[in-house]
A and B are shown apart, each in its own frame.
Chain A
Amino acid sequence: MNHDQLLNPKSLPHSPEKATLEGKNKFLGLWFFLGGETVLFASLFGTFIALRNSTAGGPSSEELFGLELVFIMTVLLLTSSLTSVYAMYHMRNHDFKKMQLWLGITGLLGLSFLGLEIYEFTHYITEYGFTFRSSAFGSAFYTLVGFHGGHVTFGIAWLIVIMIRNARRGLNLYNAPKFNTFSLYWHYIDVVWVFVFTVVYLMGKVG
């Protein structure tokens, strides 16, 4: 397979994301990376659970968290996971324009999630004086949720770069694996969020 076939294929195979060795490598490499991320987040979750009642006289999770905002954030992120499934559906049907459209929606949903998270953090800081430094609970909360937020931010930046880079040249065997790995990463962010809202917010409310 030469470079021209890679970039301007006359016809695409059924799964363009796994047609080349590079594509297969990227696919497997990303999955393994997610395996490592599982331990990374587990360490953060473990730390958070160990410290979640160490409020040092500051506000506790029952006082802080409101369920409405978290529920909206959850729905936003879950929906963005579905929209990126749609994007991959169109990729497999070789419909580049629709894929870009759904990816764009995914990015917007991610951005609005991020906006709400920033609002949430500033709310805690200004209204309750609850900061990264106020207690071990504060440090653990902002670190865990912030790490997740950081992953969302990185994902959005990644998405913007590959969308703009490939906007004018359509789907090919070189960029299909990139879109595919992005979507896997994005789903994984959603997986982590499911545990964030369960462990941090819902368990925090239950006590």
Chain B
Amino acid sequence: MTENTNTNQLTDYHKQKNKEEMKRNVISFALMIVSTIIAFAIVASGVMDRIFAVFLLFILATVQVAFQFFYFMHMKEKGHALPAVMIIGGTWAAFLTVFGLVAAVWW
């Protein structure tokens, strides 16, 4: 039953493609770790102006999340148009929600 490993449908072409894909994922993981380190370093060193630091933290978080979505969760691949639409829609609703609660709670 566990003899699924060797099958004729998995061609070398696919194996090669999977390998390349995995390599890209490792690179994006490295970039994610780097951006995390930068974010923590900004705060730990305390050298940056508050407003600028917050701004930069958010850019780093967004970049990192984009890697997570597009590479780890394969959103860049074909057949992910609808997931992308839903996540973007959700992000838009999320933005409005946070905006409402942060900015408009008491103008």
Contact = CB atoms under 8 A, between A and B. Distances in A.
A and B touch in the complex (CB under 8 A): yes
A92 interface: yes
Interface string B39-63: 1101110000010011001101100
A169 B97 CA distance: 45
A72 to B, nearest CB: 11
Nearest to A92: B18
A97 to B, nearest CB: 8
A96 interface: yes
A10 B9 CA distance: 10
B62 to A, nearest CB: 9
User: Could you say which interface size class chain B belongs to?
Assistant: 35 or more
Nearest to B7: A11
A36 B97 CA distance: 13
A137 to B, nearest CB: 15
A50 B94 contact: no
Contacts, number: 156
Contact of A203 (B10, B29, B57, B91): B57
Contacts of B90: 34-39
User: Which of B5, B42, B54, B89 has the most chain A CB atoms inside 10 A of its CB?
Assistant: B5
B39 to A, nearest CB: 6
Interface residues of A, number: 61
User: Which of B7, B65, B90, B102 has the most chain A CB atoms inside 10 A of its CB?
Assistant: B90
A71 B97 contact: no
A86 B18 CA distance: 10
Contacts of B36: 71, 74-75, 78, 197
Interface in B1-36: 1-10, 14-15, 18, 21-22, 25-26, 29, 32-33, 36
Interface in A80-107: 81-82, 85-86, 89, 92-97
A28 interface: yes
Interface in A1-56: 8-14, 18, 28, 31-32, 34-39, 41-43, 45-47, 49-50
A122 B105 CA distance: 32
Given A39-B93, A195-B61, A49 B101 contact: yes
Nearest to B102: A49
Contacts of B57: 198, 202-203, 206
A31 B82 contact: yes
14 contacts: A11-B8, A28-B82, A31-B82, A38-B93, A43-B101, A46-B100, A46-B102, A50-B101, A82-B26, A190-B68, A190-B72, A194-B61, A194-B65, A198-B61
Given A28-B82, A46-B99, 12 more contacts: A8-B1, A37-B90, A39-B94, A42-B94, A43-B101, A46-B102, A67-B43, A71-B40, A78-B32, A82-B72, A171-B4, A205-B43
